Amino acid sequence: MSVEYNNVIKMAKINEKKYKNAILFFANKIQNGTLGKLKLMKLLYFLDFDFFEKYGNTVTGDEYLRFENGPVPRMGEKMIKNMTGKDIRIVKRTIGPGYNDQQHIEAIKSFDIQVFSKEELVMLEEIADKWEKFSGSEMKNASHGEAPWIATKPNDVIDYNLAYYRNKYAEMAKL
């Protein structure tokens, strides 16, 4: 199969070990009180789409849907639900008047570094470092400015190939 063909076929299979450990990585790395569900979903989006743009495949194997709050991994809620109480805990926090309560995600255990390639670990670090100080809402707004979001109809699956048409967030910030 050619590379082009591989990029257009649907993501065949979720890599549950990498998916779970990516969530644990972010929950262990981002401990400044900003890691809610919305932010976690955007971190997974940027992880998979940035990795796809650079290497032609994804880390989690999930597909993303274009929802109102930005790209959402199809299996994200299920993974969080399966991990809650064993690997992570969700603590409801009141942000303030006019805001929804945040479902803050905290790690109960460490992530397994062995499940990731060197390139995946570097990308996880880059994503966590880049977005650590941003809120989920700020990340949602950033994702709404990218080609994958703009070119996809509401509730449809976002084509990974659209990653090749996006601006890097840092480049957009310079404009």
In degrees, rounded to 5, the angle at the alpha carbon of residue 117 between the alpha carbons of residues 83 and 162 is 80
Distance from C-alpha of 173 to C-alpha of 175, rounded to nearest angstrom: 6
* pLDDT at residue 22, rounded to an integer: 98
- Whether the model clears a pTM of 0.75, i.e. scores above it, the answer is yes
Sequence ranges of the domains in the chain: 3-174
* pLDDT at residue 173, rounded to an integer: 42
Distance from C-alpha of 25 to C-alpha of 60, rounded to nearest angstrom: 13
Res. 97 pLDDT band, cuts 50 70 90:
low
Task: Find all residues with CB under 8 Å of 71, minimum gap 6, and list them.
Answer: 41, 42, 45, 49, 64, 65, 143, 148, 149, 158
Distance from C-alpha of 8 to C-alpha of 132, rounded to nearest angstrom: 31
* pLDDT at residue 96, rounded to an integer: 65
Share of the chain above pLDDT 70, in %: 84
Res. 13 pLDDT band, cuts 50 70 90:
confident
Res. 93 pLDDT band, cuts 50 70 90:
confident
The better pLDDT of the pair 75, 96 is held by 75
pLDDT single digits (tens) 20-72: 999 999 999 998 888 999 999 999 999 999 999 999 999 999 999 999 988 99
